[in-house]
Amino acid sequence: MKFPKFSFRWFLLGVGLIAIIGLTGMNVYSLYALHESTVVSKQENQKNKLIDFTNEVRHRFTSPLNDRFRLNTSRFEEQMQSDDEKPEAFLSMLNNASEDSLFSEVYFTDAECRPCEDGGEIRKYNPQTESFEWVDQTPEEVSDGITMARTNMSVLIGDYRWQTRIFFDTHRSLTIAIINSREEELLGFVNLLIDSDYLLESYLTPKISELFRPAEESGIVVWLHDWTQDEVLASTDESVPYDFQLVSTTQNFPDLLNNWNLKASFTESPTISASRATLIRNLSVLGATVVFLIGALVFMFITAQKERNLARRQAGFLANVTHELKTPLAVMQAAGENLADGRVNDESRITSYGRHIHNEAMRLRGMIEKLLDVAKADAGQMVLKPEYANLVDEINTYLQNKRSMIRSEGVKVDFQYDEPIPKVYIDRSSFDTIFGNLVENAIKYSGDEKYIGIRLRNTGKHLNVDVIDNGRGIPPGDQKYIFDKFYRVESSLTANTKGHGLGLSIVKDLTELNGGSVSVTSEENKGSTFTITFPLDSTNTNQTHKLNGESINQAESGDQRKRQKSSKPAET
């Protein structure tokens, strides 16, 4: 296998390709990074919204109780035990809580009382009379809330420096511990029962729906979830059922509603879809541009490479052809001189000199004709006179004309075809050149035993002409180049055979000009088959092949029998 020599051109091609691939890589990376940052910032935004919302819920619970900050607890115990007027800030706080639909009932107990233990000694606040009324039975939620607050406060009391402290018993109740921080003493507890129906139906559900909108608009689905019961309490988009595998983030409420949390799943929002569409569009444009750029670069490189090879072959050809033109001229000149001087009198020698001059002139003519054919084809000046031609006749005529050459070369010709052979619409003189070049090559590149097989095959849509030899064959790597101008297979055998690499390029040009195509199959040391394919149209498949002056119409005859006819005009 031949490796191309490393040269500056290969280096530049490599640099060009690396530059294109590098730039593309960078662009793809930045496009992805841009898309990812859009996705991440959108999701960060939604997460911050969740955090803000849980803080807002806490604020909603505590804001009606803001008067607790004004409470002076130094005389609180005394005021609560006597019939004295109760502290104004305390009453205001209780009134606000009673009016708020979030809380259903308001209770008070002093620090000594153990409502959960003895089931009594608890007072319910009446906002109408602004007074406290003893209740016999302590509701369970109230008892639980106060007990929990008392336990927590007993730990905190030494370090605590505020007059009140709020504790939530999840979504059931809220307990405010009243404290004399200077004396480090607990003074009592206010317990507010939470109306969970109102909380859920009238506050949380509408609020999250309003904030987060349906998934299609916002790119997020939020579920209010009771994790202790594994129950969804509210959702921002009923069309997306809750599935823990979908959950991308979970947000707890700060110190309240401990059994509940917000779970969220990110879906594709319009912003993200737009960003993805832009990404896909940009990647497609980039991909197409890169393919185009690489294609153009490789195409330019291959074209330059071909031009170089052609120039190299052309230079070789010029040197070669000058020599080839000079040789017959020198022979003709010498023979002519001898004849002109009258030095040759013997009749047989005169004949031999004449034959020499004739043969060399024919060689010269053949070469000049080939050169002219190439020049004409290159200049697009080939004049064709297409007509319906019978290739059986054309081939027979050619073989007849060349019979002396065929005989002298000792070639065995085997011409076979299946009848009927339809006519093809081509320029007959072109066919003569095409066929002649193929036959000449088959003879030139054959071994000692020269054989030419000629087959005409009607495939229905095409008429194929095969020229077969059992010569040296063509190496697979060369087969695609042999139709190029000036191309010759580099081997010692070719070097010993006269030629300029023009014959097959003329075959290709002329065949294509006549609407056909040429192909080759070849195996080294076994032989080659060159196939010329001409299209048959409905008109010329109906054309007739004249045999013995009789017209046989393929379409009309209905004769499906395939007769094999062998013609051997020259055989040695």
The residues binding ligand ADP (CB under 6 A) are 441-442, 445, 469, 471-474, 482, 487-489, 494, 499-505, 528
Decide whether 273 or 314 has the Cβ nearer to ligand ADP: 314
Q: How far apart are CA 365 and CA 325, in angstroms?
A: 10
Question: What's the length of the chain?
Answer: 572
Q: How far apart are CA 207 and CA 229, in angstroms?
A: 22
Give Dmax over CA atoms of the chain in angstroms.
Answer: 169
Decide whether 294 or 520 has the Cβ nearer to ligand ADP: 520
Cis geometry, peptide bond prior to residue 420 (ω within 30 degrees of 0):
yes
In whole angstroms, the minimum distance from the beta carbon of 463 to ligand ADP comes to: 21
Decide whether 75 or 480 has the Cβ nearer to ligand ADP: 480
Decide whether 76 or 445 has the Cβ nearer to ligand ADP: 445
In whole angstroms, the minimum distance from the beta carbon of 498 to ligand ADP comes to: 7
Decide whether 130 or 432 has the Cβ nearer to ligand ADP: 432
- Tally Cβ neighbours within 10 Å of residue 103: 23
In whole angstroms, the minimum distance from the beta carbon of 437 to ligand ADP comes to: 6
Decide whether 142 or 489 has the Cβ nearer to ligand ADP: 489
Decide whether 194 or 452 has the Cβ nearer to ligand ADP: 452
Decide whether 145 or 503 has the Cβ nearer to ligand ADP: 503
Strand order in the sheet with 185-194: 131-135, 122-126, 103-110, 185-194, 173-180, 164-169
In whole angstroms, the minimum distance from the beta carbon of 501 to ligand ADP comes to: 4
Give the burial class of 228: count Cβ atoms within 10 A of its Cβ; 0-12 exposed, 13-18 middle, 19 or more buried: exposed
Distances (CA, A) of 116 to 103, 146, 300, 430: 21, 8, 93, 118
Residue 294 · residue 20 · CB < 8 Å: yes
In whole angstroms, the minimum distance from the beta carbon of 317 to ligand ADP comes to: 10
In whole angstroms, the minimum distance from the beta carbon of 486 to ligand ADP comes to: 8
CA atoms within 13 A on the CB side of 444: 16
Amino acid at 555: A
The torsion defined by the Cα of 501, 504, 509 and 510, in degrees rounded to 10, comes to: 130
In whole angstroms, the minimum distance from the beta carbon of 3 to ligand ADP comes to: 22
Going by C-alpha positions, the residue among 434, 403, 447 that lies closest to residue 568 is 403
Going by C-alpha positions, the residue among 543, 540, 563 that lies closest to residue 551 is 543
Decide whether 247 or 371 has the Cβ nearer to ligand ADP: 371
In whole angstroms, the minimum distance from the beta carbon of 572 to ligand ADP comes to: 20
Give the burial class of 368: count Cβ atoms within 10 A of its Cβ; 0-12 exposed, 13-18 middle, 19 or more buried: exposed
Q: How far apart are CA 218 and CA 439, in angstroms?
A: 79
Q: How far apart are CA 73 and CA 180, in angstroms?
A: 6
In whole angstroms, the minimum distance from the beta carbon of 376 to ligand ADP comes to: 17
Token match 């090879």: residue? 309
Token match 């071909």: residue? 306
- Angle, nearest 10°, between helix axes 270-341 and 8-62? 170
Going by C-alpha positions, the residue among 552, 555, 547, 465 that lies closest to residue 514 is 465
Decide whether 153 or 468 has the Cβ nearer to ligand ADP: 468
Decide whether 174 or 474 has the Cβ nearer to ligand ADP: 474
Decide whether 234 or 518 has the Cβ nearer to ligand ADP: 518
In whole angstroms, the minimum distance from the beta carbon of 532 to ligand ADP comes to: 13
In whole angstroms, the minimum distance from the beta carbon of 309 to ligand ADP comes to: 14
Q: How far apart are CA 101 and CA 39, in angstroms?
A: 40
CA atoms within 13 A on the CB side of 4: 10
Question: What string of DSSP letters covers 477-514?
Answer: HHHTTTTSTT----SHHHHTS---S-HHHHHHHHHHHT
In whole angstroms, the minimum distance from the beta carbon of 546 to ligand ADP comes to: 31
Amino acid at 507: V
